[in-house]
Every structure is written in C-alpha cells, then in structure tokens.
C-alpha cells in the first residue's frame, strides 16, 4: 500500500469512527475526532432556506449535545445499516486534507432520524500525527430528492409542487385527489378533516408559531379505508416555512409509533405487530411475518386494545397515529 493510500485509509477510518460515535450518542468519542479550537466550524446549507454556520469548538460541541438530548440513541446501530457513503473525492496535503462525498440515510432502523441524500465535505488537519476533523459542511438538496411522496400546498390548499414520488404515485393513491387545483380527500366525508389540518398548519406559520414544536411537527389525517379495509391516511406538516402533505411516509409513521409506545406502554412485540397492522396486514399474515402463532398475535392485539381502550383494529390504528392520547 502506498503512502497516499495509507493516509487515505487513516482519514476514512476517522470518518467511520466519528460517525459511529454520533450514532451511539457517545459525545466523548465524537469529540476525540475533532480539532478543538476557535477555528473549528460546522456548516449546514439548505437548498430552500439558506446556510447556517457554527464557529468555534465550544459551539459545535454544544449543538451536538443538544441534538443528543433531543434524539437520544435507542440502542446499538451499525454504521453500514444506517448510512451509505459514495462518490468520494479525497485530496491530501502535508497536514491538511479534504473529503467530498454523498451520504444517504437509510430507513431500515425505525428510530433513525437521518434520511435522504445530502452532500458532505469534511476538512481534516493533522494534529500530533493524527487526522482530526476541523470543518464539516453539509448541503441538503431540494425536496425533489426526498424519497417519500411529498406535495406542497399554499395557504388555500392549492397544489404548487409535487416531487417525483408524488407525481408517479398519485394515480394509484386512493386517499387523495387534486380537484380544481386543490388537494382534497378522495372520499368527500373526510375532506373537512384534511382542510382543517391544512388550515391549522397555515395559521401556525402565519402567526409565527415555531413549526419545529412537537404539536406542529406532523398532523396525521385519516382518509377513510381502502376497498381492502386498510386505513388510509396522510401527514400534514410545515417545513422551511412551507406546508407539505406526504403519504406512504414510513419515517413519520415510525415516529408516531415511538410516541404511542411511550404513551401506552406498548411492548416491543406489540410495536412490531402495530407496524404490520398499520401496513394493512391481516392477523394471519402478521403471525407469519413475526414467526409466531395466531394465538400469540391475538393475545398481543387484545393487550393493545386494553391499553388504548378501543376494540377494533381500525380504531387501534387511528389511536396509535393520532396527535393526542384519547381522554
């Protein structure tokens, strides 16, 4: 192995170790891979709203700690299961190097909060013979790159934009329809709920209520049931000062189930069953998927009924996805 290849492997090893420390929520391990001076910097650039720069190690560290407090790690995660890195460009000098690459957050971990594509740049300095991160820059592309079908509407509910996922799947989407330029529930009896959710988010933005607050983060809206008896729903939420509607949004569904798990004291086995029920699996199919008996599944379902106070699967799904716990 040449000296250049050795240096490159050392730098990539630092990147992997720092990313694993981030996934583990290990602030000390993460800090050990950074240059800790006033020149240390972290920058995030959003395609829609501009750039935020944090300068100085103390402020960079404070932001990392705040992030861990908001989203504490839920258990061990493997780097290769959560992040995919590709399209590397590595340039190495005497005591400085930089790495440009694409990072994709994958969704196979239900509690993982990083999703989609972002472009990253890391600048490294050699400190006492070891490579450390001196600057990190993240560019988050536009909404077109979000995997989940997403529709942007204005304050009157008129559709102003759809990403490719929404454009390709709206025809087969049985819960939503665009009529006279407005986004509506396909079943008229559910449209009032959708319009109410859109108006609620619009008012939050107009009155400058912090859209990052939990109550406005995402509103689930029931859209009735499919011909197969599967509950149809979408999510309404603000992002970067805009109103969005998404469907088939596994990340938001997972996050709502995390909340339901805490509110109702669901067991891990009950949560796994809840995921399958929300996806429309029948009990027999859920039992096969979970590799348990049908009686075990029925017992878990009954316990969820007891905890939530409902007696039908459709009602259970609505409760688990609801914004507030029922009175």
- What token pair was written down for 77? 């995660």
Asked if pLDDT for residue 61 goes beyond 70, the answer is yes
Contact predicate 106/82, CB 8 Å: yes
Asked if pLDDT for residue 158 goes beyond 90, the answer is yes
- Of the two residues 114 and 15, the one the predictor is more confident about is 15
Q: Where are the domains of the chain?
A: 3-141, 147-248, 252-321
CATH number of 3-141: 3.10.450.50
The helix (run of H) or strand (run of E) holding residue 24 is helix 3-24
Contact predicate 34/129, CB 8 Å: no
Q: Of the segments 55-59, 113-117, 205-209, 271-275, which one has the largest average pLDDT value? A: 55-59
Lowest mean pLDDT among 9-18, 127-136, 243-252: 243-252
The arithmetic mean of pLDDT across residues 72-85, rounded, is 81
Asked if pLDDT for residue 18 goes beyond 50, the answer is yes
The pLDDT-based confidence of 218 (bands split at 50, 70, 90) is confident
Asked if pLDDT for residue 29 goes beyond 90, the answer is yes
| Nearest-angstrom CA–CA distance, 325 and 302 | 18
Burial of 193 (0-12, 13-18, 19+ CB in 10 A): middle
The arithmetic mean of pLDDT across residues 41-57, rounded, is 82
Asked if pLDDT for residue 20 goes beyond 90, the answer is yes
- What token pair was written down for 122? 């890391």
Q: What are residue 144's DSSP bridge partners?
A: none
Asked if pLDDT for residue 212 goes beyond 70, the answer is no
| Nearest-angstrom CA–CA distance, 258 and 251 | 11
Gyration radius from the chain CA atoms? 23
| Nearest-angstrom CA–CA distance, 168 and 91 | 40
Asked if pLDDT for residue 324 goes beyond 70, the answer is no
Predicted confidence at residue 81, as pLDDT, reads 81
The arithmetic mean of pLDDT across residues 136-151, rounded, is 75
The arithmetic mean of pLDDT across residues 41-55, rounded, is 80
| Nearest-angstrom CA–CA distance, 58 and 202 | 37
Tell me the pairing of strands 83-92 and 96-105.
antiparallel
Contact predicate 133/34, CB 8 Å: yes
Asked if pLDDT for residue 55 goes beyond 70, the answer is yes
- Of the two residues 155 and 115, the one the predictor is more confident about is 155
Please state, in angstroms and as integers, the Cα–Cα distance from residue 215 to each residue in 53, 116, 199, 203, 256, following that order: 28, 24, 14, 13, 12
Predicted confidence at residue 211, as pLDDT, reads 42
| The CATH fold of domain 147-248 | Beta-Lactamase (3.30.450)
| Nearest-angstrom CA–CA distance, 277 and 282 | 7
Predicted confidence at residue 116, as pLDDT, reads 63
CATH number of 252-321: 1.10.10.10
The DSSP result for 166-228, as a single string, is HHHHTTT-SSEEEETTEEEESSGGGHHHHHHHHHHHHHHHHTT--TTSGGGT-EEEEEEE-TT
Asked if pLDDT for residue 203 goes beyond 60, the answer is yes
Average pLDDT of the residues of the chain: 85
Q: Collapsing DSSP states into helix, strand and coil, what is residue 86? A: strand
Per residue in 264-301, pLDDT (tens digit) is: 999 999 999 998 998 888 899 999 999 999 999 999 99
Lowest mean pLDDT among 22-26, 253-257, 310-314: 253-257
């Amino acid at each position: 192995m040449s000296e250049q290849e050795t240096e490159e492997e050392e730098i990539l090893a630092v990147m992997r170790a720092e990313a694993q420390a981030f996934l583990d929520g290990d602030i000390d391990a993460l800090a050990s891979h950074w240059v800790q001076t006033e020149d240390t910097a972290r920058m995030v650039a959003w395609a829609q709203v501009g750039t935020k720069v944090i300068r100085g190690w103390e402020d960079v560290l404070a932001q990392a700690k705040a992030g861990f407090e908001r989203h504490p790690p839920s258990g061990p995660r493997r780097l290769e299961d959560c992040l995919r890195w590709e399209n590397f460009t590595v340039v190495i000098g005497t005591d400085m190097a930089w790495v440009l690459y694409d990072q994709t957050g994958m969704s196979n971990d239900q509690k993982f909060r990083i999703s989609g594509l972002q472009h990253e740049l890391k600048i490294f300095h050699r400190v006492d013979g070891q490579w450390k991160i001196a600057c990190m820059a993240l560019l988050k592309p536009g909404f077109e790159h979000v995997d989940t079908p997403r529709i942007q509407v204005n304050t009157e509910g008129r559709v102003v934009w759809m990403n490719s996922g929404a454009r390709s799947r709206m025809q087969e989407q049985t819960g939503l329809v665009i009529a006279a330029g407005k986004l509506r529930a396909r079943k008229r009896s559910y449209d009032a709920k959708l319009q109410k959710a859109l108006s609620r988010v619009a008012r939050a933005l107009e009155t400058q209520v912090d859209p990052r607050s939990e109550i406005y983060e995402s509103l689930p809206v029931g859209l009735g049931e499919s011909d197969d008896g599967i509950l149809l729903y979408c999510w309404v939420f603000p992002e970067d000062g805009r109103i969005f509607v998404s469907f088939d949004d596994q990340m938001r569904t997972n996050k709502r189930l995390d909340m339901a798990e805490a509110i109702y004291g669901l067991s891990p086995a009950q949560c796994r069953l809840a995921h399958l029920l929300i996806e429309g699996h029948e009990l027999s199919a859920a039992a096969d998927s979970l590799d348990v008996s049908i009686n075990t599944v029925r017992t878990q379902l009954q316990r969820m009924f007891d905890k939530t106070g409902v007696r039908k699967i459709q009602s259970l799904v609505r409760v688990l996805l609801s914004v507030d716990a029922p009175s």
